[in-house]
Amino acid sequence: MRKNIAIALLLLSTSLFGAAKETKMLPIFTEGYCAEPTIAIMGGYGKYSGAQNGASMYGVELGFACPVFQVKDLEINQVLSLVHSDKDGLKTNTLEMNPRIMFKLNDKTKFGVGPGLGVIFAKSAAKNDTVFGFNVGASLNYDISSDFFIGIESRYQWAQDAQLSNGAKTDMNNCRTLIKLGTHF
């Protein structure tokens, strides 16, 4: 058993070392870095585990080429998003940072997956609370022209419980699916 674990760790470290040779740290400070910014408006449906009903959600996202690291032959986008929801007395604004590994399916279509960190600003009639979460999601973007794209994204977020009333906590885990319309700069 120990031998198998040692072999697996050796193979993993070898592949990571090989990838590290092709990795640029902080490319934002190197000559030739291009941010490739995008901005999109989003709208769709989501549900908090602690809420009775799902709700419409809408927001905006700003994307750019990852300024922290670049790996050869791998597109990594950094996306910042702000999403709002208001239903049944629960108002939320979620701010997230989501790096995505993008896979080119064809000349116009990309599929992305990645984790994220977020903060949820929640408000009820009784109290306000701020909770943190971790999420994972997938997206599909299609370039309708050289300037515009449409897309769809689904994301699940595990979040802390919010204290929105005296004595009771609200489960803020949530899932959402949003469509988006955006532009490349």
185 contacts: CB under 8 Å, gap ≥ 6: 36, 37, 38, 39
Residue 161 lies in a domain: yes
Q: Is the distance from CB of 48 to CB of 90 less than 8 angstroms?
A: yes
CATH of the domain at 37: 2.40.160.20
According to the model, what pLDDT value does residue 152 have?
Answer: 98
Residue 7 lies in a domain: no
How many domains, in total, are found in the chain?
1
Q: What sign does the CA torsion over 39, 41, 43, 47 have?
A: positive
According to the model, what pLDDT value does residue 41 have?
Answer: 98
The answer, yes or no, to whether residue 17 has pLDDT greater than 80, is: no
Residue 164 lies in a domain: yes
Other C-beta atoms closer than 10 Å to the C-beta of 114 total 19
What does the pLDDT look like over 20-34, one tens digit per residue?
A: 557 777 888 888 888
Name the H helices within the chain.
2-21
What does the pLDDT look like over 109-132, one tens digit per residue?
A: 999 999 999 999 999 888 999 999
What does the pLDDT look like over 134-172, one tens digit per residue?
A: 999 999 999 999 999 999 999 999 999 999 887 788 999
Q: What is the mean pLDDT of residues 36-61?
A: 94
Task: Identify the domain containing residue 130 by its residue range.
Answer: 22-184
* Greatest Cα pair distance in the chain: 59
CA distance 103 to 120: 29
Residue 43 lies in a domain: yes
According to the model, what pLDDT value does residue 13 have?
Answer: 53
According to the model, what pLDDT value does residue 8 have?
Answer: 56
Residue 5 lies in a domain: no
